[in-house]
Amino acid sequence: MKIGFIGLGIMGRAMARNVLQGGYSLTVYDKFASCDEIKALGAAVVSSSREVAAASDLVITMLPNTPHVKEAILGPDGVLAGAQPGLIIVDMSSIAPAASKELHAEAQKRGVAMLDAPVSGGEPKAIDGTLAIMVGGDAAVFERAKPVLEKMGSSVVHVGEIGAGNVTKLANQIIVALNIAAVSEAFVLATKAGVSPEAVFNAIKGGLAGSTVMNAKVPMILAGDFKPGGRLELHTKDLLNVLETSRELHVSLPLTATCMEIIQSLICDGMSGYDHCAIVRYYEKLAQVEVRK
């Protein structure tokens, strides 16, 4: 199977490298990011999404948001312009579920199959190929694509029809954001009370309050390391998709809405490129303390 990959940013570059190192031939394109590293590993570099599609049996897109995915797939030089019937599109971007359904409908008109397969795990898991991948779409198409996805993720789960992958990702992003906010509140409280936040972390991480999020983010907070794995600006994008979807479904999500406002205030303070564990900075500012070793 010949694979195409569109979008070689922080996540996409690592994911494409794992596909290539997994033994697949790879054709790549990115409108902005450099393709030199992947080219040096043996990938073919082309000048449009259309050319990627023409050279591939399965095309992966890993792009920032809905408009970028729509341009890459539906644009005049997009995937569908170069696709032959039977092509599989796997959109691994995190976009609104409604947009995934819209793109799927357009792909079907051309005899092209599509899956939505957003990921969780950030850059470290993209690098080591252990992403969690949540996939929506036809089960038979999923089985055909699964061996490729397994080169990028240690957990590849089919969760339902098209759009279900992105619904699952939205649920994931709610939990991650609110978990970081809860951790931030707790550790700011401990610090303000004069208790070592490092000691608190060591005391509670093995109990019921422990979580993958806390284990990953508290050491970064204690070190004052806000270099991004998951950037605040991208988490804002995901939470916006959460809130838009919740309005469509008439579901009230008050905690998510509050967390969205917290992140927006941090972006206004110039932290858009910080890791999402910088949510702690909001609480630190209010309490006039820093949670550090």
For 79-102, write each residue's pLDDT tens digit. Answer: 999 999 999 999 999 999 999 999
The one catalytic residue among 125, 169, 217, 237: 169
Residues 45 and 21 in one domain: yes
Torsion of CA 285, 227, 153, 149, to 10 degrees: 110
What pTM value is reported for the model? 0.92
Domain-terminating residue out of 107, 136, 161 = 161
For 150, the domain range is 3-161
Is residue 121 over pLDDT 90? no
For residues 177 and 202, state if they share a domain: yes
Q: Residue 293: inside a domain, yes or no?
A: no
User: pLDDT by residue (tens digit) across 229-282?
Assistant: 778 998 999 999 999 999 999 999 999 999 999 999 999 999 999 999 999 999
292 part of a folded domain: no
Does 198 lie in the same domain as 114? no
Q: Is the dihedral of CA 44, 157, 63, 272 positive or negative?
A: negative
Residue at 135 is within a domain: yes
Indicate the residue among 161, 191, 225 that finishes a domain. Answer: 161
Q: In whole angstroms, how far apart are CA 92 and each of 60, 72, 166, 217?
A: 7, 13, 9, 24
| Cβ count within 10 A of residue 288 | 8
Domain count, the chain: 2
- Count Cβ atoms below 10 Å from residue 24 Cβ, excluding itself: 19
Residues 259 and 181 in one domain: yes
Using the 3D structure, point to which of 112, 134, 161 is the last residue of a domain.
161
Active site residue 169: yes
For residue 146, name the pLDDT band (cuts at 50, 70, 90): very high
Name residues whose C-beta falls within 8 Å of residue 115's C-beta, 6 or more positions apart in sequence: 88, 89, 90, 91, 135, 136, 137, 138, 141, 142, 145, 162, 165
Q: What CATH number has the domain bearing residue 23?
A: 3.40.50.720
